[in-house]
Every structure is written in C-alpha cells, then in structure tokens.
Structure 1
Amino acid sequence: MDTSQTELPVVVVMVPLPAQGHLNQLLNLSRLVSVHGVPVHYIGSATHNRQAKQRVHGWEPSTISNIHFHDIQLPPIMMPSPDPHASNKFPAHFQPIFDSTASLREPLVALLHTLSAKARRVVVVHDSIMCFAAQEACSIPNGEAYAFHAVSAFAALFFQWERHGKSGEIIFPSDLPYISLEDCFTARFAKFVDEQYMFMKFVRGHLYNTCRPIEGRFIDLLAQERLLGDMKQWETGPLNPVAIHADESRQRHSCLDWLDKQPKNSVLYISFGTMTSISDEQITELAVGLEGSEQRFIWALREADKGDIFTEEKEGRKIELPNGFEERVKGIGMVVRDWAPQLEILAHASTGGFLSHCGWNSCMESLSMGVPIGAWPMHSDQPRNTMLVTEVLKVGLVVREWSQRKKVLSSSAIENSVRELMVSEERQEMRKRAKELGMSVRQAVSDGGTSTKQLDSFIAYISR
C-alpha cells in the first residue's frame, strides 16, 4: 500500500438502495460526512444517482466538491407498471430493480480496490438492505462496513424481535400493541431481505436516521447486548436540512409562491410517497373528502415511480380527478402533478398538517419541522411508524387503520380526519406537542446537540 504523504486518512463509500426514500437519506448523510472533510464516494446506477441529485432540496450536491458520484451503467431492466388495484400496496413493481443491485458488486469491488491503495481506511456505509457491500468491504485489508438503517429505531426493534423469533431474551416494550407483518411486504421482497441479512455478520456498526428526542427509549433498546453485541451504534438524525437554503440556480416551485399567500398553519400537505399507487376509486373519495373539509391543501398527486423516472411512458397512467374538482377548489387547494419540494413545503410557515403514508423519510422531515401527521400507512415499516407517531409521540392521528387496509376509505371519514387534524379544539394539544418536538429535534442537530455529538463520534471512530 502507498504510504506516501498524499495518502488519505479515511474515505467513505455510500451504497444506497435504489428507492427514493433510501437514496435521499444516504445522500443527506454524505453531505454531513463530507462537511467533516472526509471524501465521500456515492455509488449507484447512473439513473438513480441522477435522480438522487435532482430531487434533493435544501442544499445543492454540486456545491460540495468532497462528494464523488460513481455512475454505473446497468443492463436495461424490464419492469411492470405499478398496480393501483393491488390489495398489497408494497411496490412489487420495484423488485426487478432490487434484484439488479447484484450487478453493482463488480464495480463496487473495483472502486474499493482503487481506494484501498490511496487511503489508510476505506469505510463502506451501505443501506441495511444492501449488505453484500459489507462482505466486499471486508475483502480489502483496510476496509470496514457499517449498516445504515433507513427506518425508525422503533420499526427496527420490531423487525429484530421478529427475526429472533420474538425471543423473551430480548427486552421488548410490553406496553405497545403488536402489529403483524402481514401485507407489509411481498414474499419475494422478504426473501431478498433475508438473503442480504446473511452478510450482516461483516458489519462493525449501525447508523440510524433518528434522534433521542424522538426515539431515545428505542435507541437504547436496540443497543442491548443481545442485539448489538460488540458492534457500535450511532443515531445521527434528522439527516435532512432543518434550515432550508433556497437554491437560486433552480426555479422556485409555484406551490411555494401559493403557500406564501396562505395564513399560518392553515394548509394540509398530502403525499403518499414515490412508490405507492392508489386506485381511482380511492383518489375520488380523497378528493371529495378534501373538498368537503373546506381546508386549504396542497396535494402531490402523481403515479408511483418506476425504475427510471427519466423515461417517459407514452401510455402511462393519467390520474383523473372528479369533474370540475380543481376549478371548485381553486384558491383553497392546489394539485401538484410534478415533483413536489416536500421538505420546503413542510418547512413553510403556512403548512399546518401532513396527510402521509408515514414512510420514515417523510416522518423525519415532518417531525423535524414540527408538523403533525395524519397517518395513512401503505406498506413496509409504515404501520409501525404510524404507531410511533400517534400512540408513542402523540403528534398525529390515524386516518386509515392498518386493519382496514384492503378497504376504500370513505370521503366522509377523510373529511372528518382532515378537520380533526387541522382545526379541531380537541387536537390542539397534539399540534402543540408537534411544534415542541420539532424544536427539540432541531436542537439535536445544532452545535452540541445529541445527534451532532453522535455524528462527531462516528467520524472520530472511523478516523481512529
């Protein structure tokens, strides 16, 4: 190995799962690591790297010279279209993309060997569902791997408990109701995760996008010896910026100009993420419920992502709204059919609530901005995040119960939930708690905050 004075002390290689909520979190972590002067290499398909850079907001990746993107050209992938009528809302149409990540092994190995000759230590931070990267990190003499969990500590604790056969040897909260994993995933995806977890034995530690004000109790439970063993653990969230810096090189979205004209805390933001496809019947009920609630809203209404968001489909699904809906709500509501700048919307003073699928990325963005959540879980970790938000933190309410997931939610139920979230007297305490929690979360990433100290600890450990 080259030991000249030009040798780098440590470099970090990020290996994300190619799904928006995962790409985004590891790109935000890349920013935070690079600020410490550590070179970061972000590896993925050319399409998904481009997607991550285009959709990030609150900061601009091109301004940080310490982040190096490695765009891998993968073979074309045949993907089915999203199915809005599927009874299981897990995005099964993404499975070919997940399976294709095996093609990243060879270019990852080549990159690791190149960096190994230039740095004293090569640190691989991989998505917890991309554990093959940990095995490859250990194939070089100066490599080590850390798993990044793009889910809440709360959900991770549930998953770990189930993976250990609900063992009584694991300290687990007895005061929380149990939620079955049924319909959270497809059998094929569960098998994919199991195959990846076989490589978790190569990991030296775990990173979580969370913080003590949100999940202190569950962070500590994850650290119990039966689960953590001799590995390290850090919670460094929220990873998203909490002070938004407008990018003057990009045109400001029109929905933000519209928000500027609305009263404080008066607007409900509606988005179910980038991977969920919703039936026409449910969209109609939601539209009628929103109109009936007489509350201001911004609705991010678009079909679920496919594998390549830059490939236009000539016969893609056109989502229809009830006749005259957009005209009738003009001035009160706004429908956004392109990419919505979610973090900027949640950070805006006019935003007072978030009707969400409760993906963890969305939860962290909303909680860090002090915005209460109307929870409508669809799949994956979302039912557990719903429990955390509504029953543990008490900064949100359940709009659609997980037990009712196969049914269409009526417009009257939606109307009542929207009013309850936004204006009801009995939910004033909930809205107040959300604001207070937001302040505590932002303090966690301020100078001397708990998450700032955790990130400093991680940087110090990998630079040892």
Structure 2
Amino acid sequence: MDNNKEKLHIAIFPWLAYGHIMPFFQVAKFLAQKGHRISYISTPKNIRRLPQLPADLLSSNLFIFVQLALPHVDGLPLEAESTSELPIQKVPYLKKAYDLLQLPLTHFLQNSDANWVILDFASYWLPSVASQLGLNSVCFSIFNATTCSFAGPPLELMGGRRQKPEDFTVVPDWIDYPSNVAFKLHEIVSHQDCMDSAVSDFQRFGITIRDCRAFAVRSCPEFEPEAFSLLSRLLQKPVLPVGLLPPTLQDTASDDEKWQVFKDWLDSKREKSVIYVALGTEVILSQELMHELAFGLEKSGLPFIWVVKDRPLVEGEMGSHIIPNGFEDRVSGRGLVWKDWAPQLRILAHSSVGGFLTHSGWSSVIEALGLGRVLILLSGASSDTGLVARLMHSKRVGLEIERNEQDGSFTSESVAESIWRVMVSPEGQTLRANAWAMREVFCNIDLHNKYLNEFTHFIESETASTRSI
C-alpha cells in the first residue's frame, strides 16, 4: 500500500452461509494485505470454519475476528449458526436471529474507528445504521451480475410488479439483451420456503442496494459484459466488479488422508473420464429423486465420484435408503460414493475428472470453470442456482438436466442422457472445448487482482473525497 494513503478500518459482515462467508473472507484478506485494518464479524462457529490466515496477516495485527453470539430464536435449532446446518424451512428463523445481531453490531461499530462496512444482501438495516454513525457502506453481492440484473432495481425488489411466483418465470422487460435467464416455477416456489415472512429476500436486497454507497459484484465484465453494463444503469450507483475470486488449494481445508483415498481411485481412471457429482452443502433432494440420480449415474456407464450428504430428509429422520439398495455393489469399481466432506477443489483439479454434475451454485461453477471442467447442471432450487444454470447453459459450457418445471422432478433417463451428451458425444465436444477455454477468464489471477485493486482504490478515494466535503 502507498504509505501516503491513510490506513482504513473496514468492518466485514457476511450473511450466515458458507457460500457468502468465504468470498467475504477472500476480499477481507486482500484489503488487509493492502495495509487496511479489517474487523471480520460473524458468529463463533462460522469463524472457526474459516481457513487459517496467511502468516503475514497473522503477525500484522491488521486482521481481527469479531465474534458475536447468535441470539436464540424460537424455531431455530440450538447451536445452528449457518444455512448448511438447517433444512430450508428453518432458514427464516436464522434470518430473524441474524437481524437480532443489529444491536451488538451497532455497539461494536459505535466503539470502533471503522470507516467502512462491507455488508451482505440480508443485513438491510445496516446501511442506515452505518450512515447514522458516519460510516460508508458497500453491498458485496456474491451473486453474479446476471442474477443481480434479473433481480432488478431497488424499487422493483421492494415491491414492484412481480408479486406471484409465476412473475419470476419470465425474463423481465428491463433486460435489454438476448437472455433466457429466469426461474422455473419449482425453483422460485422452493426458494420462498427459506424467506422470512416479515421481510422477504427481495425486500432485503432492495433496501440494502438503495441505502448503500456502492455495489460490488463477484464477477467480471470479461464473462458477462451486457449484465454489468445494464446493472450500472439499473442501480444508478457505482457497480464494482471484484473479480471471480477463484479459490486456491491454500484457501481450502486439507485432509491428506481423505485426499489419498480419492487420489488413488482417480489415478486408476483415464484422463477426463470421471464425472464428479456434488450438490453443495444445502441442497436436499427427496429420496425418490436421489434414487433417480443414482440410477441415472448407473445407466450412464461412466466412472463417477458422488459426494452424498448424510443429512435428515426431514427434521429428526435420517434417510436410511437415500441410496438405492444394492447400488454401491453394482457400481463398485466404477463409482465411488462418499458420505462425508470431500476436498472438492483437489478432486476437480485431478486430470481424470472431465465433468462436474453440480447444483449450479456460483462458487462451485467458478471452481469448475477455473479448471476447465464441463458442467452437467441440476439446479439446486434455492437462491439463484436456477439462474446460474440457465446462464451456463446459454454460454454453452454445460447442459441442464431436463426437469419438470412445476415440481422439479426428473428421471434417471434424463440424467444419463445429459451425462452422455456432455461427456462423450460428438455434440458435447463444443461444450467441452468452451468449458476448457473458460480457464483464461476464471483462473486468471492477474485479472481478478486487477479488479480487487480497483475496488480497494475506490474505497480509499471515496473515503478521502467524503472527508474533504
């Protein structure tokens, strides 16, 4: 950092989901390495899940963790502090508990010398708190620019024309370029299960955008130029790409013993022949659909690694037959079923892996395309995963598995056919080549650091201009 520039104190406050916590952590580390002081604020369990800080930050006193105890809310299971610990129907209680952090967070900010707050979509009350305390705020969206453009301007989010689930299944009229990105009915209906009835996710996002000084996006114009151009016009405030924040192996948790199991198995397979299957930490399919997915993998005839979450199908009940009887025996040698945490980035990086059957979470897509892995897209029917699936399908770096638009059901035949088309067929060669070419953008560390540098410069210059007024 330029020694002539003032060192800022920046508070960071993400939503309580690992897909949010980790990108916020990456931005926080970059700002600290530029010489700014960081207060990374979350609950104790979420802070414990983060990777260790680099040695230079550990010794610098520039990065501190601020732990706020999550208030108890009736309906929220004890000790649950993140979305990954909850069925989707319980997430509204987590949002209510998150909102109750307003008082302790305000107390912390009042007694600190913070200049800026980098906040998430969910903390709609925080920009006005920051303003009252004389702090600048920037909303950091872990969603890409296409999702944010689909969401629309603040007034639309806060109560515009889209009132029914069906209203979200069409491309909005403010999208002024060719697009197929909209929700399927089952996706938007499912997502409503995780919304707080008092303040919807759309209202949270709209109020946050309206009241913050600037809007930062985890993406870059090299990948979605039309969406960035439109977003600046829709929001009427600075829209700042921070790059794709591709993870590195140093950023991820390590378990060498587990990795050795995967490595030995993958070493025995042909190059780019294996499908990696993982539906994220929060997606729960019904037992029927888990069976369809299993039979689809079996019918494909291709080698695969399937990471299966051993979580309750409904509260208090484990799915004893979540995997069909006899399935693991039938696919033995060709398929590896893993019911535990898996080192996803290391698996995707192995030369034997060619494709990724994913729930279409933006973080997972970034990991896969950073390594050139073609996508088989099974939207997770929560958050923006359906929108991401449409976008990747239209970019021709993957193929969506056909699903019933009303209830989200799919068949083993559609799973097997999609896998075969993407991984083997001549038709899929274009998809495979396009995904491989995406490495030039998705793992271009210099490009993404350029955007992080520009974001840092914006915060520094805005602080100076604000104080000169």
Short-chain TM bin:
0.7 to 0.9
Once the 2 structures are TM-superposed, how far is the Cα of residue 23 of structure 1 from its aligned partner?
Answer: 1.7
Match of 1:193 among 188, 196, 201: 201
CA offsets, 1:327-370, max 9 Å, x none?
A: 22222211121112222222322221111111222222222222
Equivalent residue in structure 1 for 2:99, among 78, 99, 102: 102
Matched residue, 2:337: 335
- Aligned partner of 2:69 in structure 1 is 73
Give the letter aligned to residue 350 of structure 1: S
* Corresponding residue SS for 2:136: strand
Please tell me whether residue 26 in structure 1 is matched to residue 24 in structure 2.
yes
SS in structure 1 opposite 2:402?
coil
1:414 partner letter: V
Summarize the Cα distance change of 1:414–1:314 in structure 2 as closer, same or farther, 3 Å threshold: closer
Residues 131, 199 of structure 1: 8 Å contact kept = yes
Match of 1:112 among 109, 127, 130: 109
Tell me if the contact between 2:397 and 2:432 (Cα under 8 Å) persists in the aligned partners: yes
Q: CA deviation at 1:240?
A: 3.0
Of residues 278, 291, 294, the one that matches 2:301 is 294
3-state secondary structure, aligned to 1:406: coil
Distance in 2 between residues matched to 1:271 and 1:410, nearest whole Å: 18
Tell me what 2:38 maps to: 40
**Aligned twin of 1:238:** 244
TM-score normalised to the size of structure 1? 0.83
2:443 maps to a residue whose letter is R
Q: Does the aligned pair in 1 maintain the 2:366–2:442 contact within 8 Å? A: no
Say whether 1:416 aligns with 2:411.
Answer: no
Instruction: Give the equivalent residue in structure 2 for 1:404.
Output: 405
Given that 1:277 and 1:303 are in contact with CA atoms closer than 8 Å, whether structure 2 keeps it comes out as no
Counterparts of 2:250 and 2:333 in 1: how far apart (Å)? 26
Q: Deviations over 1:7-59 (max 9, x none)?
A: 972022111111221222212222222222222222112122223x1xx5xxx
Q: CA deviation at 1:113?
A: 2.2
* Counterparts of 1:380 and 1:125, CA distance in 2: 21
The equivalent residue for 2:467 is none
Q: Which residue of 2 aligns with 1:86?
A: none
1:160-210 CA-to-partner distances (Å, cap 9, x unmatched) read 1653648x9985235224635744221744733244233433311111111
For residue 362 of structure 1, what is the aligned residue in structure 2?
364
Q: Does 1:456 align with 2:461?
A: no
Any conservation in 2 of the 1:211–1:441 contact (CA below 8 Å)? no
Instruction: Provide the rounded CA distance (Å) in 2 between the counterparts of 1:325 and 1:316.
Output: 18
Tell me, yes or no, if the aligned pair for 1:286 and 1:414 is still in contact at 8 Å. yes
Matched, 1:228 2:235: yes
The structure 1 segments of at least 4 consecutive aligned residues displaced by more than 3 Å after TM superposition are: 60-64, 75-81, 161-166, 168-171, 180-183, 187-191, 242-252, 303-306, 313-319
2:434 paired with 1:436: no
Alignment of 1:245-324 (within 5 A): 251-253=257-259, 254-303=261-310, 316-318=318-320, 320-324=322-326
Give, in angstroms, the shift of residue 264 of structure 1: 1.9
Aligned counterparts of 2:226 and 2:430: Cα–Cα separation in 1: 22
Letter in 1 for 2:439: G
Distance 1:317 1:24 in 2: 30
Q: State the 1:323 CA deviation.
A: 2.0
Paired amino acid for 1:148: F
Q: Would the alpha carbon gap of residues 242 and 211 (structure 1) be closer, same or farther in structure 2, given more than 3 Å must change?
A: farther
Q: Per-residue displacement from partner, 1:313-337 (whole Å, max 9, x unpaired)?
A: 9854445312222222222211121
Counterpart Cα distance in 2 of 1:268 and 1:361? 18
Contact 2:294-2:327 within 8 A present in 1 as well = yes
Query: Residues 78-97 of structure 1: CA distance to partner in whole angstroms, max 9, x if unpaired?
Result: 3479xxxxxxxx92221111
Amino acid at match of 1:409: F
Q: Is the 8 A contact 1:242 1:369 kept in 2?
A: no
Measured on the aligned residues, the alpha-carbon RMSD in Å equals 3.1
Distance in 1 between residues matched to 2:282 and 2:15, nearest whole Å: 13
- C-alpha deviation, 1:247, in angstroms: 6.7
Displacement of 1:456 after TM fit?
0.8
1:128 maps to what in 2?
A: 121
So what's the TM-score if we normalise by structure 2?
0.82
For the residues of structure 2 that align with 1:305 and 1:107, how far apart are their CA atoms? 33
1:387 aligns with 2:393: no
Question: Take 2:318 and 2:254, find their aligned partners in 1: how far apart are those partners?
Answer: 32
Equivalents in 1 of 2:184, 2:124: separation in Å?
22
Q: Distance in 2 between matches of 1:325 and 1:100?
A: 41
Flag the 1:180–1:239 CA change in 2: closer, same or farther, 3 A: closer
SS in 2 for 1:93: helix
Instruction: Tell whether 2:216 aligns with 1:207.
Output: yes
Distance 1:414 1:169 in 2: 30
Q: Which amino acid aligns with 2:348?
A: L
* Kept in 2: contact 1:25–1:240 (CA 8 A): no
Count of paired positions: 425
Task: Kindly provide the amino acid, as one letter, of the partner of residue 416 in structure 2.
Answer: E
Query: Structure 1 residues 394 and 145 mapped into 2: Cα distance closer, same or farther (>3 Å)?
Result: same
Q: Deviations over 1:221-262 (max 9, x none)?
A: 1112xx232x22211222132565787786553324433433
Identity fraction in percent: 25
In 1, are the aligned partners of 2:244 and 2:366 still within 8 Å (CA)? yes
Structure 1 pair 245/256, CA: closer, same or farther in 2 (3 Å)? farther
Structure 1 residues 175, 39: CA separation in 2 closer, same or farther (over 3 Å shift)?
A: same
3-state SS in 1 of match to 2:443:
helix
